[in-house]
Chains A and B, each alone.
Chain A
Amino acid sequence: MYSFDYERPSGVNEAASALGEDDKFLAGGQTLLPTLKLRLSQVDKLVDLGAIGELKGIAKSGSELTIGAMTTHVTVANSGDVKSAIPALGSLAAHIGDAQVRNRGTIGGSIANNDPAADYPAALVALGATVHTNKRSISAEDFFVDLFETALEDDELVTKVSFPIPEKAGYAKFPNPASRFALVGVFVAKTASGVRVAVTGAGPSVFRQSDMEAALGSNFAADAVSGIKTDASGLNSDIHASADYRSHLISVMAARAVTAAG
């Protein structure tokens, strides 16, 4: 790692004002530290969000579940509120990476990073979540822009994510056997505003599959989506899987996600 300065503020405003032009926020460090170690990235200073209590925790109120940006994957996976409100979200968190990664990695870090193969983006988009920052609120669909790109400005930090509680939801991923990242992951949610289907791992960034949404809208059953194809042009092709294979996996994972939703 190149050398850098380090600061550990105890409040959101302090953290935002501590961040200079070539600085980065540090959350769980499970993506940022490996990138710095490989010298794929360089910073003047890391502003560690680890001591900011108000960024941690889960709350359920009426029709909404709210998760603080610095809440770890293991906390989401084990939360009684998450299990009762959106069990699919708890199960998603329980299958991110491995136990050590889940003990450190956070929801805020995961969505701010917007890795094309990350799990959380599918849940946020399918559930119609809202990302709250120190400056504004952004709908999940507007938040995830492109490969590793979000709507966040340089000194803007995610404070929490709020999820409308759906009627039911399910997530299925085909994990890369080495990293557990999603080769393809599909999150299906039956919400007050209709059925929403979001796909991660397959394209440069998370996207909605509208043909599947329409089919599930009239018949919420695995059979309704297993035959629906997704155009492979524009999907990712790499050493792990071809675009055609990913397209095939979208149909299979969508059907499994519907079954999981019950």
Chain B
Amino acid sequence: MTTVSMTVNGKKVSADVAPNTLLVQFIRENLRLTGTHVGCDTSQCGACTVHVNGDSVKSCTMLALQAEGAEVKTIEGLAANGELHPMQAAFKENHGLQCGFCTPGMIMSAVDLVKRNPNPSEETIRTELEGNICRCTGYHNIVKSVKSAAENMGG
């Protein structure tokens, strides 16, 4: 066991973990933050996407120990003061989800993509979301949601 410490959604956390503990296991099992999903566990689907020091990463493809000292943000950390983040609100408004399984990862990726591309074209949104797979929506309303959120976020 090794001690790992990081900041998750603004709160300092620390725990003893086995070195082969994945960041997603640490988030879901140690911290009980189960909004971050495991869809494939093979680095393909992006359902496990969280931000590490502001960048979107697949938390099933990173060790908890690699996040030592990092700022981690999960879907639970997006809403502020009881208000949905503009990206969450846009997904709700534009019917950007059906079963909702891919949604936490989609939203975390989308927030990162709008940060890097404040005024994204439809094409940019589609290529930047290549690492996130949705089995329900056909992506159309996801793209619409991201576009609308980008406008609301002042892009």
Measured CB to CB, the residues of A under 8 A from B are 1-6, 8, 26, 29-30, 33-34, 36-38, 46, 48, 50, 74, 97-101, 103-104, 178-180
Indicate the size class of the contact surface on chain B.
Answer: 20 to 34
Partner of B42, one of A3, A34, A98, A100: A34
Query: Which residue of chain A is the closest to B68 with respect to CB atoms?
Result: A8
Query: Which residue of chain B is the closest to A3 with respect to CB atoms?
Result: B20
Task: Contact check, A99 vs B113: say whether CB atoms are below 8 A apart.
Answer: yes
Q: Which residues of B contact A99 (CB under 8 A)?
A: 56, 109, 112-113, 128-131
Measured CB to CB, the residues of B under 8 A from A are 2, 18-20, 22, 41-44, 46, 49, 55-58, 61-63, 65-66, 68, 109, 112-113, 128-132
For residue A122, give the distance in angstroms from its CB to the closest CB of chain B: 21
For residue A235, give the distance in angstroms from its CB to the closest CB of chain B: 26
Q: Which residues of A contact B55 (CB under 8 A)?
A: 74, 103
Query: Which residue of chain B is the closest to A175 with respect to CB atoms?
Result: B130
* Sampled A-B contacts (22; CB under 8 Å): A6-B2, A8-B65, A8-B68, A29-B61, A29-B63, A30-B43, A33-B22, A33-B63, A34-B61, A37-B42, A38-B42, A46-B63, A48-B63, A97-B131, A98-B46, A99-B112, A99-B131, A100-B109, A101-B43, A103-B57, A104-B61, A180-B130
Task: Contact check, A46 vs B19: say whether CB atoms are below 8 A apart.
Answer: yes
Task: Contact check, B20 vs A100: say whether CB atoms are below 8 A apart.
Answer: no
Task: Contact check, A29 vs B62: say whether CB atoms are below 8 A apart.
Answer: yes
Q: Which residues of B contact A103 (CB under 8 A)?
A: 55-57
Partner of B61, one of A2, A30, A179: A30
Which among A1, A33, A74, A180 has the highest number of chain B CB atoms within 10 Å?
A: A33
CA of A8 to CA of B63, assembled, Å: 12
CA of A95 to CA of B124, assembled, Å: 12
CA of A98 to CA of B44, assembled, Å: 9
Partner of B41, one of A2, A29, A37: A37
Q: Which residues of A contact B46 (CB under 8 A)?
A: 98, 100
Known: A33-B62, A48-B63, A101-B43. 9 other contacts (CB 8 A): A8-B68, A29-B61, A48-B65, A99-B130, A100-B46, A100-B49, A100-B61, A101-B131, A178-B44
Given A48-B66, A99-B112, the answer on whether A3 and B19 have CB atoms closer than 8 Å is: yes
